[in-house]
A and B are shown apart, each in its own frame.
Chain A
Amino acid sequence: MAPTPLTVLSPVPRWWAAWARLTWLGARLGRGLVQRPLRDLSFIHFAHWCLVPRWPSDPAVSPDDAADRTLVFLTTFDGSNIQYIDAFVRVVPFQIAALYGGARDFPGPFRFRPVARYIERHRAPVDHFWAAHPDATTTAIGQALELRERFAAFERRVGGTSDERFARAWVEFLTEVQDLV
């Protein structure tokens, strides 16, 4: 199943924009502590948060009413929007609160339905999406990369060995990686 792209735009007040930047700095200094529970969910290919401080303008026309500061969430994941939002609400509600607590009209991170409605109202349809490996889930990619590492180690171990030793090592290797193949 091809991964699902989602783009969510959340207007935020000035003070919350400053706070969001602070949380990102904290997350970077935390060396993966914030990312880990999200990565452990094993269905996010990529997720990015950006801040639009001011939407680009066109001097040929009068300024419009675009919100000054907008939090942009771009993510690509396995499964449906519903599964994704449900997992976020269950697993990382406090991280969601830290990022969206001050966003305009955000209903709070603890109940699925209000969050799902919020995302439905704030999502922007993706017109074109492309993935290099559309049939590979995040789990499949992670397993394949781990298998590749273990396979390289196996090859180093069996270089120049006898038939019998190779056969034994092969069986051991297959047993070791059976969950990755």
Chain B
Amino acid sequence: MRAATEALVLLARLRAGEADAAREAIKDHWCTGMSPFGAVPGTHLGRLQLLRPPARRGRRGTREHVLLAADADAPVRAWIERLRVSAAAPLDAVFGHCAFYPGAADPAAFGRWVDANRLEVGFSVIGSPDATLAEVSDALTLRSELAAFAESAQRMDAAALYDAWREWRRGR
């Protein structure tokens, strides 16, 4: 069976001397207010970070890269397009400091850039691999509503319980 989620891992090289500006852009555009990940339907988790590759043995000098990773409802190709549309400005603010980034305005160029910079995921462990975000959200809501209903219905007789149940179900 196909998993309900798919991972995206993107890695892009920062242009020399632009790491501080990229770090500031992450702070200003991703960490302030609502995360752009939150505006993309189907996003379970997302991360954005600057990282410096490990050096070859005995060497020191490596330059920073940007890594964007997300776990989203499959197919991830559709999620990438939703990300491009809803987070164009925050994407451009950070990846605009990377070599070869074409910007989010042109869907075809952006798609080619994603393909060129995407890392293949070799192996995954997923807590709930068969659940979409909507299913997870619905299940968590049901769980808390059901607990509240069970508590409120504790001392009802059979007729009142069934009436309350039907009322509750109509409200869901």
For residue B42, give the distance in angstroms from its CB to the closest CB of chain A.
Answer: 9
Whether A56 lies near B117 (C-beta < 8 A) is yes
Give the interface size class of chain B: 35 or more
Whether A181 lies near B147 (C-beta < 8 A) is yes
A132 contacts which of B30, B43, B56, B138 (Cβ < 8 Å)? B43
> Which of B14, B51, B159 counts the most A-chain CB atoms under 10 A from its CB?
B51
In angstroms, Cα B159 to Cα A128, docked, is: 52
For residue B17, give the distance in angstroms from its CB to the closest CB of chain A.
Answer: 9
A163 contacts which of B38, B162, B169 (Cβ < 8 Å)? B162
Q: Digit string of B131-171 for contact with A (CB within 8 Å is 1, else 0)? A: 10101111110110011001001000111011001000100
Q: Which residue of the partner chain B has the closest CB to A23?
A: B123
Secondary structure at chain B's binding surface: helix, strand, loop or mixed?
A: mixed
Q: Which residue of the partner chain B has the closest CB to A74?
A: B69
Is B77 part of the binding interface, using a Cβ–Cβ cutoff of 8 Å?
no
For residue A36, give the distance in angstroms from its CB to the closest CB of chain B.
Answer: 9
B44 contacts which of A35, A46, A68, A155 (Cβ < 8 Å)? A46
For residue A48, give the distance in angstroms from its CB to the closest CB of chain B.
Answer: 5
For residue B155, give the distance in angstroms from its CB to the closest CB of chain A.
Answer: 12
In angstroms, Cα B142 to Cα A157, docked, is: 18
Q: Digit string of B5-27 for contact with A (CB within 8 Å is 1, else 0)? A: 10101011111100000010011
Whether A44 lies near B125 (C-beta < 8 A) is yes
Give the interface size class of chain A: 35 or more
Q: B159 contacts which chain A residues (CB < 8 A)? A: 163
For residue A33, give the distance in angstroms from its CB to the closest CB of chain B.
Answer: 12
For residue B23, give the distance in angstroms from its CB to the closest CB of chain A.
Answer: 7
In angstroms, Cα B54 to Cα A52, docked, is: 11
Whether A47 lies near B35 (C-beta < 8 A) is no
In angstroms, Cα B128 to Cα A136, docked, is: 12
Q: B84 contacts which chain A residues (CB < 8 A)? A: none
Is A82 part of the binding interface, using a Cβ–Cβ cutoff of 8 Å?
no
Given the known interface contacts A44-B127, A66-B62, the answer about A130 and B16 at a Cβ–Cβ threshold of 8 Å is no
Whether A74 lies near B143 (C-beta < 8 A) is no
In angstroms, Cα B23 to Cα A180, docked, is: 42
Given the known interface contacts A58-B15, A151-B146, the answer about A130 and B127 at a Cβ–Cβ threshold of 8 Å is no
In angstroms, Cα B123 to Cα A46, docked, is: 11
In angstroms, Cα B46 to Cα A126, docked, is: 10
In angstroms, Cα B52 to Cα A132, docked, is: 28
Q: A10 contacts which chain B residues (CB < 8 A)? A: 54
7 CB < 8 A contacts A-B: A11-B54, A11-B57, A44-B126, A48-B121, A127-B27, A128-B47, A132-B43
Interface residues of B (CB under 8 A from A): 5, 7, 9, 11-16, 23, 26-27, 30-31, 35, 37-38, 43-57, 59-63, 65, 67, 69, 71, 99, 117, 119-128, 131, 133, 135-140, 142-143, 146-147, 150, 153, 157-159, 161-162, 165, 169
The 8 closest A-B pairs by CB, nearest first: A65-B59, A167-B158, A144-B139, A124-B51, A66-B53, A24-B122, A56-B13, A130-B35
